[in-house]
Structure 1
């Protein structure tokens, strides 16, 4: 047998021996993968099915209605206001969280006496239930005995109690502030993980070269921290976009539907007004919005990574 023929036979034998080994990992993860696909796909299928049918308030599927639930939802001015407010809510809470969390993480990353205690204090709100946090802040902004009004009156900053949660113009900014507050611990944790992976030698070299603190932050810290900031933005958008307890516990979407976002509007449609079909349509709209944002955001990141800071 010639050398070329022998080499061909050897390659064929090698490919036959490699193929089962290459497929082995897929066989090992197949059970969990099938289970995960079932857990994810079944609720989505059920929601799509309900959104295309007339559903009673008790969940009984009636006639096929096509896109009628979507038309009804888009014709509702409360939905359109909730959609606009959801975008404002998400942008303000995520933007405010990142702006505050970056300097907090930078401070907590420094070596100083009591750093462990400071980190614990910053992370402590993360261990409290979000619903309980919203209840505490609802009490704090109470008109008559709330901590905020009492403190401001004793400091002489206001002459009488302010009805914080009685008007949408005040209630919604208050809820945004609470949303920022409860999102800081999670974001600081991500950023601290990123800062701990940055080698300290580069800062020492920068100081020797005469770089100022601002130049070190702009030229070193921000570029190295950018992947973790991107991760924090994406996770916070998904988390805040679907955040239900703060707004529902504090105002339940009121007054006069003035603080509804999509997730609270969905809850009211499904459980208060008894319109599960329309609630399913809203949930699909939210799913599509988050999916489109996630895909677009992840696609634009590689082009940004190569840009100079």
Structure 2
């Protein structure tokens, strides 16, 4: 009786065919989502890029090809340079302040104490409030004529009667940064709480048995284990804060004298106040490239760190 021997190549063919079939099935399932994303996200990006290299009137009609002329206009505008610098300060200050405050808040809320659920609700409550409403409320709080901040400071005996907090760029920008930190804390605390709950309790128990103090457990267990969640929080907050529009626009409209303008308010003014849709599109493309570069750098650093850890 003659016996046939199956070669490794022949044995792998059914497995390869099954793998290709699964990949095609997966592709069919995700194809509607991909097409929807390309339509909703891809088309506006393409349209903005087309406007950025075109001569566009205030009604959105393209009159001709402009090339890099709109980008030159943007870089030659001193308000754009000022807004870029203020965007850097705004992003670094809000994201840095948010992370520095959110980490200890998350650690405290992760502890088992009476009333923890109520404390978590209070901390996360600002997340449920509209960002525009929050900015509007704080605009009235710091109002120089009838704001509650001046009233409270005056009752404490401090000389802040009718102090115009939003009349100068330095004080207005500082207040807006503090409001930005306030509204960013709930989301960031949620990310850190998720990271803290994923740390095994046995690590802390073993550290306590070895005589480690709470500070040593924090610096050698908690913070290193939170590093992936810290990276996620920083990236998401940078993207969110960089494009944050309501706080600055509602509180000061980018004033006084463009002293609180950031890039997103600069783009809005160019498009809807001055009717320069092509210049606004060019500035938007530059903002998109900055965020894209930051995201690519983050992914590269994450991949390098993952490869080093293997």
State the TM-score, normalized to the length of structure 1.
Answer: 0.94
Question: Structure 1 pair 162/22, CA: closer, same or farther in 2 (3 Å)?
Answer: same
Question: Relative to structure 2, which stretch is displaced further, 52-61 or 172-181?
Answer: 52-61
> Once superposed, what is the RMSD of the aligned Cα atoms?
1.9
CA distance in 2, matches of 1:138, 1:125: 16
How far residue 272 of structure 1 moved from its aligned partner, in angstroms, is 0.6
Unaligned runs of 5+ in 1: none
How far residue 131 of structure 1 moved from its aligned partner, in angstroms, is 0.2
User: Contact 2:151 / 2:161 at 8 angstroms: preserved in 1?
Assistant: no
1:16-58, Cα deviation, whole Å (9 max, x unpaired): 4543233221122222212212222111110011111111111
User: Contact 2:207 / 2:217 at 8 angstroms: preserved in 1?
Assistant: yes
Q: Please identify runs of 4+ aligned residues in structure 1 that moved more than 3 A.
A: 1-18, 301-308
Question: Structure 1 pair 9/292, CA: closer, same or farther in 2 (3 Å)?
Answer: closer
1:252-297, Cα deviation, whole Å (9 max, x unpaired): 0000111000000000000011011011111100000001111112
1:183-232, Cα deviation, whole Å (9 max, x unpaired): 00000011111111111121111111111111000000001111111110
CA distance in 1, matches of 2:271, 2:100: 36
Show the counterpart of 2:222. Answer: 221
Question: Structure 1 pair 249/13, CA: closer, same or farther in 2 (3 Å)?
Answer: closer
**What's the secondary structure of 2:152's corresponding residue?**
helix
Question: Structure 1 pair 212/259, CA: closer, same or farther in 2 (3 Å)?
Answer: same
CA distance in 1, matches of 2:105, 2:277: 43
Map 1:99-114 onto structure 2 (within 5 A): 99-114=100-115
State the TM-score, normalized to the length of structure 2.
Answer: 0.94
User: In the alignment, is residue 273 of structure 1 matched against residue 277 of structure 2?
Assistant: no
How far residue 113 of structure 1 moved from its aligned partner, in angstroms, is 0.5
Unaligned runs of 5+ in 2: none
Question: Relative to structure 2, which stretch is displaced further, 153-162 or 233-242?
Answer: 153-162
Show the counterpart of 1:198. Answer: 199
Question: Structure 1 pair 12/58, CA: closer, same or farther in 2 (3 Å)?
Answer: same
1:85-116, Cα deviation, whole Å (9 max, x unpaired): 00110000000000000000011101111101
How many pairs are equivalent? 308
1:236-263, Cα deviation, whole Å (9 max, x unpaired): 0000000000000000000011100000
Question: Relative to structure 2, which stretch is displaced further, 149-158 or 215-224?
Answer: 149-158
Question: Structure 1 pair 106/42, CA: closer, same or farther in 2 (3 Å)?
Answer: same
**What's the secondary structure of 2:187's corresponding residue?**
helix
**What's the secondary structure of 2:226's corresponding residue?**
helix
